[in-house]
């Protein structure tokens, strides 16, 4: 990033945009000149000319008199006003996932352009960062997403038939105040207030049928509708539970290393002894935590809350019966 404190914020922004455009063209071996730069909304022709002349004098770009094109000057990154900022790896991972997800679509080129802009690096460099393949969102989900989104942003109550996780093929009519759409590893959820249950609920889009407005009825969106504000006590994905409770789980063996390397909740506490690591935290995501503990096998033992410990033991008994042990 270029920053010169003697220049205005707008001037620094303009210079950075020019550097980025020329850098990307240089990486791709594409031609970039005044004509192509005029379409980049840099400013008036005079403003563009002044900015180009300035960064050329700074030794960042050079101009080919014969081809009438620009390219990056060798060693341009050594300029005193080029600041090497730390990389936001979480954001880079999200952008890379975005690229992977839309690779075979008609607007892939538009996504590439936006990713290059946000990541502040040419796509050739960006290709050296990988995100393991994830579950994909189905075409059916995408259609339902648009239907719900169009109703949701107008604060319409929505009505649909739903096949719940525990009800087999039984369809139930649901009326919901839609708050948000959640995307998690190939599954899309509607998060909102279920009028029948009188509580917040999550609904899997692929189980929703005949989605429509509830007779054009509207609702008032609460100020605290954000999912993470209500259920963001821990980081186990999309799941709602009635009230947050305190969990205490003991971890053993090599799992202790992995547990200590990650942040599972904002209020987590770690205590270590010679043979175990005890993790305590607040969460409202009971089922997700049970799946997580079970995935650790014999290296995890829940201690609190008591009803969660009971559920864990019952699930282990079921597993033992399946394994005939």
Could you tell me if 192 and 238 are in contact, meaning their C-beta atoms sit under 8 angstroms apart? no
pLDDT at 149 (0 to 100):
92
Range 9-78 has CATH code 3.30.1560: no
Strand locations in the chain (E)? 61-64, 69-72, 156-162, 172-184, 187-194, 199-204, 208-218, 245-251, 269-272, 277-283, 300-304
Q: What is the CATH number assigned to the segment(s) 139-228?
A: 2.30.30
pLDDT at 101 (0 to 100):
65
pLDDT at 191 (0 to 100):
93
All CATH 1.10.10 domain ranges of the chain, comma separated, are 9-78
pLDDT at 103 (0 to 100):
66
- Which of 143-177 are b and which e, b meaning 16 or more Cβ less than 10 Å from the residue's Cβ? ebbebbeebbeeebbbbbebeeeeeeeeeeebbbb
All CATH 2.30.30 domain ranges of the chain, comma separated, are 139-228
pLDDT at 299 (0 to 100):
95
pLDDT at 44 (0 to 100):
86
In this prediction, the residues of the chain whose per-residue pLDDT falls under 50 are 86
In the three-class reduction of DSSP (H, G, I as helix; E, B as strand; rest coil), residue 127 is classed as coil
CA angle at 168 for the pair 166 and 173, rounded to the nearest 5°: 85
Give tens-digit pLDDT for 216-243: 999 999 998 888 888 777 888 877 766 8
Could you tell me if 309 and 302 are in contact, meaning their C-beta atoms sit under 8 angstroms apart? yes
H, E, C per residue of 34-71: HHHHHCCCCCCHHHHHHHHHHHHHCCCEEEECCCCEEE
In angstroms, the CA 48 to CA 51 distance is 5
């Amino acid at each position: 990033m270029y920053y010169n404190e003697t220049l205005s914020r707008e001037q620094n922004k303009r210079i950075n945009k020019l550097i980025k455009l020329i850098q990307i063209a240089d990486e791709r071996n594409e031609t970039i000149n005044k004509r192509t730069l005029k379409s980049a909304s840099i400013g008036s022709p005079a403003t563009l000319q002044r900015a180009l002349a300035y960064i050329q004098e700074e030794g960042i770009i050079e101009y080919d008199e014969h081809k009438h094109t620009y390219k990056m000057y060798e060693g341009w990154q050594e300029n005193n006003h080029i600041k090497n900022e730390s990389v936001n790896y979480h954001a880079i991972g999200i952008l890379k996932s975005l690229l992977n997800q839309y690779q075979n679509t008609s607007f892939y080129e538009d996504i590439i352009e936006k990713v290059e802009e946000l990541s502040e690096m040419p796509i050739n460099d960006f290709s050296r960062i990988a995100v393991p393949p994830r579950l994909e969102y189905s075409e059916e989900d995408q259609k339902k997403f648009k239907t719900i989104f169009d109703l949701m942003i107008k604060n319409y109550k929505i009505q649909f038939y739903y096949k719940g996780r525990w009800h087999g093929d039984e369809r139930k009519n649901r009326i919901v105040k839609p708050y948000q759409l959640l995307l998690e590893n190939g599954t899309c959820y509607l998060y909102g207030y279920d009028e029948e249950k009188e509580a917040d609920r999550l609904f899997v889009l692929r189980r929703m049928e005949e989605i429509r407005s509830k007779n054009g009825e509207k609702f008032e969106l609460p100020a605290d509708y954000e999912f993470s504000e209500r259920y963001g006590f821990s980081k186990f994905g999309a799941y709602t539970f009635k009230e947050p409770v305190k969990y205490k789980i003991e971890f053993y063996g090599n799992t202790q290393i992995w547990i200590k390397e990650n942040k599972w909740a904002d209020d987590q506490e770690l205590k270590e002894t010679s043979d175990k690591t005890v993790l305590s935290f607040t969460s409202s995501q009971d089922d997700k935590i049970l799946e997580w503990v079970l995935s650790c096998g014999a290296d995890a033992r829940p201690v609190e809350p008591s009803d969660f410990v009971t559920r864990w033991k019952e699930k282990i008994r079921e597993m033992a019966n399946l394994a005939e042990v």
